[in-house]
Amino acid sequence: MTIKAVRRFFVCLSLAFSLLSAAALAQNNSWDTFKNRFLMPDGRIIDTGNRNISHTEGQGFSMLLAVFNNDKTTFDQMWGWANNTLYRPDIGLYSWRYDPGAKVKVADKNNASDGDVLMAWALLLAGDKWSDSHYTKASEKLQAALLKHTVIDFSGHTVMLPGVSGFNQTSSIVLNPSYFIFPAWQAFYKHSRLKVWKTLNDDGLDLLGKMKFGTTRLPTDWVTMRADGSMVPADRWPPRFGFDAVRIPLYVRWAQPNSPALAPFITFWQGFPRENTPAWIDVLSGSKAEYPLSPGMLAIRDLTLGNLFNVSGTLQPNEDYYSSCLHLLTWWSMQR
Give the pLDDT confidence score for residue 114 in this predicted structure. Answer: 98
Give the pLDDT confidence score for residue 4 in this predicted structure. Answer: 52
CB count in 10 Å sphere of residue 107: 11
114 a catalytic residue: yes
First to last CA, the chain: 34
- What pTM did the predictor assign? 0.92
Q: How confident is the model at residue 13 (pLDDT cuts 50, 70, 90)?
A: very low
CA distances from 262 to 8, 188, 238, 269 (A): 40, 23, 23, 11
CA distances from 1 to 4, 9, 12, 16 (A): 8, 10, 15, 20
Note the pLDDT tens digit of each residue in 149-158. 999 999 999 9
Instruction: Specify burial of residue 322 (Cβ count, 10 A radius: 0-12, 13-18, 19+).
Output: buried
Give the pLDDT confidence score for residue 9 in this predicted structure. Answer: 43
Give the pLDDT confidence score for residue 307 in this predicted structure. Answer: 97
**120-158 per-residue burial string, b: 16 or more CB within 10 A, e: under 16:** bbbbbbbbebeeeeebbebbbebbebbbebbbeebeebb
Position 104 pLDDT exceeds 80: yes
Average confidence score pLDDT of the chain: 93
Q: How confident is the model at residue 16 (pLDDT cuts 50, 70, 90)?
A: very low
The answer to whether residue 15 is domain-embedded is no
Q: How confident is the model at residue 27 (pLDDT cuts 50, 70, 90)?
A: low
Give the pLDDT confidence score for residue 170 in this predicted structure. Answer: 87
Candidates 1, 35, 23, 105; CA nearest to 325 is 35
Position 6 pLDDT exceeds 50: no
3-state secondary structure of 131: coil
Structural domains of the chain, count:
1
90 a catalytic residue: no
The answer to whether residue 240 is domain-embedded is yes
Question: What is the mean predicted confidence (pLDDT) over 226-248?
Answer: 97
Position 22 pLDDT exceeds 60: no
Q: Where are the alpha helices (DSSP H) in 39-153?
A: 56-68, 72-85, 113-129, 133-150
Alpha carbon distance 317, 124 (integer Å):
32
Where on the phi/psi map is residue 327: left (φ > 0), alpha (ψ -120 to 50), or beta?
Answer: alpha
Give the pLDDT confidence score for residue 123 in this predicted structure. Answer: 99
Percent of the chain scoring above 90 in pLDDT:
90
The answer to whether residue 3 is domain-embedded is no
3-state secondary structure of 312: coil
The answer to whether residue 5 is domain-embedded is no
Domain CATH number, residue 156: 1.50.10.10
**16-54 per-residue burial string, b: 16 or more CB within 10 A, e: under 16:** eeeeeeeeeeebeebbebbbeebbeeebbbbbbeeeebb
For residue 112, give its domain range: 26-333
The answer to whether residue 2 is domain-embedded is no
The answer to whether residue 33 is domain-embedded is yes
Name the active-site residue from 57, 140, 203, 221. Answer: 57
The answer to whether residue 226 is domain-embedded is yes
Find out whether 108 and 115 touch, Cβ atoms under 8 Å: no
Give the pLDDT confidence score for residue 336 in this predicted structure. Answer: 78
Give the pLDDT confidence score for residue 11 in this predicted structure. Answer: 39
Name the active-site residue from 47, 71, 114, 140. Answer: 114
The answer to whether residue 301 is domain-embedded is yes
Note the pLDDT tens digit of each residue in 247-289. 999 999 999 999 999 999 999 999 999 999 999 999 999 999 9
* CA contacts within 13 A on the Cβ side of 13: 6
Give the pLDDT confidence score for residue 2 in this predicted structure. Answer: 59
Note the pLDDT tens digit of each residue in 58-97. 999 999 999 999 999 999 999 999 999 999 999 999 999 9
Candidates 44, 181, 163, 53; CA nearest to 111 is 163
